[in-house]
A = this chain, B = another copy of it.
Amino acid sequence: MMPLSVKLNPAISEAAEVLEKAVRSRRFVVAVGDCRVDYEGRASSTLDWGDRVTMIKQDGSVLVHRPVGYEPVNWQPPRCLVKVSIEDPGALVITASRNQPRETISIEFREITLLATGNLHDPGEFALHVTEEQMKRAILTAPELVEEGLKPLEAEKSLGEAGFTDIYAEDNRGNLVVVEIKRNAATKDAVLQLQRYLETLRTTVGRPIRGIVAAPQLRKGAQPLLESLRLEFVMVPPEKCFMVLKSRRDMKLSYFLT
């Protein structure tokens, strides 16, 4: 990778110079130091003096991280305008703003311990397996994951106002079946969503319709609701979906190999 420019305990004026240049040429910045942060936008916040890690990313994202916790305490999303200035002598201020919504954070440093800037080269592909989308593909590929004899008619049937069903199918006794897929334990909300789909469909379709929640698990609180609405739950473990997708990939592979 390209070498980083690293300054230890730079003077505020020197830090400003380096930062200014890095921001202008859209380089990555990591700054560790004693700062305070103000935010004004959808809400507003203040954060008093303390040691934090600030990152300015190559797309203009700005993140301020405290020494604990998963989330940044303050931030600005990609494509914001970053400016560097010296307000008082001895006070370096980074301002990051965007419109729509109009938001600004300003980070004021009174001491910078570490300032590293450089170009990070990251071409690596990221792949996340078994999302809800993939569960749907798996069920469309192998409907027996939900029920033997299930025949998918449409994925994502539109119901106008009410939204989209995950899977719209037919069982082997001629009932229509709406399948609502969740990759996590299904909540009441999932059950209510399915119910809304069914209500909408029943106003336009004369045939009997079943509603099935397909998920790895059903939340305790969702069980009574499910029963009272006469809906069904089928456990579909993500691993099985993964196997289906994997075997499909393997088939494809063998198809190309033979």
Contacts and interface: CB of A to CB of B under 8 A. Distances in A.
A56 to B, nearest CB: 10
Given A51-B1, A63-B70, A120 B32 contact: yes
A59 B51 contact: no
A123 B34 CA distance: 11
Interface in A205-258: 224-225, 238, 242
A155 to B, nearest CB: 21
Interface string A31-72: 011101000001111111111110101110101011111100
B67 A116 contact: no
Contact of A61 (B68, B73, B121, B225): B68
Pick from A42, A51, A123 the residue with the most CB of B within 10 Å. Answer: A51
Query: What band does the interface of chain A fall in when counting residues whose beta carbon is under 8 Å from B?
Result: 35 or more
Q: How many of these chains are in the complex?
A: 2
Contacts of A46: 126-127
Contact of A67 (B28, B49, B77, B111): B28
Interface stretch (A12-20, A128-136, A165-173): A128-136
Interface string A110-128: 0101101011111111111
A120 B65 CA distance: 11
25 contacts: A4-B8, A4-B32, A4-B113, A4-B114, A6-B114, A32-B120, A42-B184, A43-B238, A45-B126, A46-B126, A47-B127, A48-B125, A49-B124, A50-B120, A50-B124, A51-B122, A52-B120, A53-B55, A57-B68, A58-B67, A58-B68, A59-B67, A59-B68, A61-B69, A73-B126
